[in-house]
Structure 1
Amino acid sequence: MEHLLARHQAELAAQQQQIEVSRPAAAELISECADLARGSDDPGAERLVGIEAIRGRIAELTSRLAREIMTFAPGDAHRTSDLAVAKTVDQPMLERGIRMRTIWLDSIRNGGPTLEYATWLQSLGGQARTVPTLPVRMIIMDRKCALLPVNTVDATAGAVVLHGQGTVAALCALFDTTWETGTPLGTSEPQDARGLTPQETELLRLLGQGLTDQAIAVRLGVSHRTAQRFAASLMEKLGARSRFEAGFKAAARGWLLPEQ
């Protein structure tokens, strides 16, 4: 059993390292999308302005899907009206046998409309997993094109549809790696050898980077107060009375992984 646990932990560490290596590439792609929004011409991309244009293009692209759709869905408090619109697009796809995989944040497990929607998707055959953080909102269709927002703060402002083979292949690799590390919805979050969940491990990493509670809340898709509560719980596990002491004890225990 110890051997199996050690091997599993090593596999998870390797997958986490792959995600860390992918983060700079994702950030560069997002930056390129922002450049396109400012008017740069690119034959491998098309620009969409406004939520209606985005919804219309998504409906058009999904109606032509042949095999699968893969989605990064960051954020927790998705609006009920947006989820209702998404249902009218998603249900026909699932009924046609399209494979649908969605990665959400761990924070949706706390309940609410987003969890209800994700559970509804699974009841129709969709697959859902959760991870602590996601780099950007993203939809990949048939591994041929990808839709990303041009503004990571306001995804409704505009979007870019990318068709370049190399760019889409890189985004597919990022999705596949993240999917492998995700926890299937409907199962409890696993704990590693330290007794930490993936969300707590990510929180520890963000605290180690010196991020504020507000910045951590945005990354985890939770409220400011919830982020403070998570940090306090982690400090309690470490037996620390301050964040400085928590960082010291985490480092002493080998809990802080080096930056990739």
Structure 2
Amino acid sequence: MLETLGLSPMAENVYRVMLAHPAAGVEQLAQRLATTEEAVRDSLDQLSALAIVQPSPHEENGRLRAVTPEMAMEILLARQQADLAAQQLRVEASRAAAARLIAECSGIRPRAADDEQLIGPEAIRERLGQLARQAQTEIMTFAPGGAHTAADLAASRGPNEELLHRGIISRTVYLDSVRNDKPTLEHVNWLNQRGAAVRTVVSLPVRMIIFDRRQALLPTDMADARTGAALLTGEGTIAALCALFEATWESATPLGGTAPTGAHGLTGQQTQMLKLLATGLTDEAIAVRFGISPRTARRIAADLMDRLEARSRFQAGVHAVQRGWLRA
């Protein structure tokens, strides 16, 4: 009866007999249930692990007592709710991991029958304009690359204003580094003031735009998004990419907010930098991921090495783990 709450039939029977005969020991419980003492002890272990039976505070020999049915149900239901919540988190993590794999695999190619492949910046720009004009409800964007050129920013204002005027929900995740570039930050603030929601993160897996949760435009070459793009429409792929966006959005910092620091006074960028240094990633590769210049990447790395009193980048990673700045 209570198997759905994690209680085996034998454990449930033992619990019921304990309620009816509080003074019964293992031997008496086994006799009443016509089973072995070993089976009773196994059931008591299960009931104890679930906190359905607990040591009696009034007896020195540590005899177990059954909690009231009301308390037992509350405990079992709370445990089940916690298990369900954990399972949901695992499902969402799996979806995000699947989406990250889709996004990070270089050379994405159309797979579904309605997918398109676009070659060259002009074809991408033209198709992007069509998709924006056809959008009906929402556009979700990952905008890596850090600071944008003044020409790109100026060219995007008209289409963005038209979208927002039509009531299209616009959510964009930029890199934290845009907070240090005045023209880009002014543009992001301009978007925010007109109703677009903007947040920032340390790094993004890919450049991506999702239209109405039905179509997603991603580059076919992660190193140069201008060479080509794939317009993906597969239901499973779109669901995974939406999950990736939502997970990233939840952990991102709203524009106007201060990037949070951890217990050791490290920003998210500094923490991620330590992880990348320990893996041997070059300054140039780190700079691309963070949307900053190689010179800035070297400066941040040098500062972290000084704080950690490390002579090498690998040693910086080791010292960071030893000090609890990073997990082993």
- Once the two structures are superposed, residues 13-32 of structure 1 have per-residue CA deviations (whole angstroms, 9 ceiling, x without a partner) of xx9xx77984564234453x
Distance in 2 of aligned mates of 1:167 and 1:58: 19
Say whether residues 1:110 and 2:184 are aligned partners: no
Is there any run of 5+ residues in structure 1 with no aligned partner, and where? 1-14
- Asked whether the 8 Å contact 1:150–1:158 carries over to 2, the reply is yes
- Once the two structures are superposed, residues 124-158 of structure 1 have per-residue CA deviations (whole angstroms, 9 ceiling, x without a partner) of 11111111111110000111110011111221111
* Matched letter for residue 315 of structure 2: E
User: What's the counterpart of residue 123 of structure 1?
Assistant: 193
Distance in 1 of aligned mates of 2:118 and 2:186: 29
* Matched letter for residue 34 of structure 1: G
User: What's the counterpart of residue 219 of structure 1?
Assistant: 289
**Do the aligned partners of residues 101 and 187 (structure 1) sit closer, same or farther apart at CA in structure 2, a change above 3 Å counting?**
same
Distance in 2 of aligned mates of 1:232 and 1:20: 36
Larger radius of gyration: 2
Distance in 1 of aligned mates of 2:114 and 2:103: 13
* Matched letter for residue 227 of structure 1: A
Distance in 2 of aligned mates of 1:191 and 1:177: 19
Which of these residues, 130, 135, 160, is aligned with residue 90 of structure 1?
160
Say whether residues 1:34 and 2:107 are aligned partners: yes
Say whether residues 1:189 and 2:277 are aligned partners: no
User: What's the counterpart of residue 169 of structure 1?
Assistant: 239
- Once the two structures are superposed, residues 164-207 of structure 1 have per-residue CA deviations (whole angstroms, 9 ceiling, x without a partner) of 11100000000000011111111211111121111111111111
| 1:35 CA displacement | 5.1
With the length of structure 1 as denominator, give the TM-score of the two structures.
0.84
Distance in 2 of aligned mates of 1:162 and 1:202: 30
Say whether residues 1:232 and 2:302 are aligned partners: yes
Q: Percent identity?
A: 51
* Matched letter for residue 156 of structure 1: R
Q: Could you say which structure has the greater relative contact order, defined with CA pairs below 8 angstroms and 6 or more residues apart? A: 1
User: What's the counterpart of residue 201 of structure 1?
Assistant: 271
**SS of residue matched to 1:204:** helix
- Once the two structures are superposed, residues 204-257 of structure 1 have per-residue CA deviations (whole angstroms, 9 ceiling, x without a partner) of 111121111111111111111100111122223324344343222211122223
- Asked whether the 8 Å contact 1:27–1:135 carries over to 2, the reply is no
- Asked whether the 8 Å contact 2:278–2:316 carries over to 1, the reply is no
- Once the two structures are superposed, residues 48-89 of structure 1 have per-residue CA deviations (whole angstroms, 9 ceiling, x without a partner) of 112222121111111122211100000113222222221121
With the length of structure 2 as denominator, give the TM-score of the two structures.
0.67
- Asked whether the 8 Å contact 1:208–1:256 carries over to 2, the reply is no
User: What's the counterpart of residue 243 of structure 1?
Assistant: 313
User: What's the counterpart of residue 248 of structure 2?
Assistant: 178
* Matched letter for residue 199 of structure 2: R
Q: What RMSD in Å do the two structures reach over aligned CA positions? A: 2.2
**SS of residue matched to 1:34:** coil
Distance in 2 of aligned mates of 1:190 and 1:181: 11
User: What's the counterpart of residue 135 of structure 1?
Assistant: 205
Pairing 1:145-156 to 2, within 5 Å after superposition:
145-156=215-226
Distance in 2 of aligned mates of 1:29 and 1:229: 30
Q: Identify the range of structure 1 (107-116 vs 118-127) with the bigger mean alpha-carbon deviation.
A: 107-116
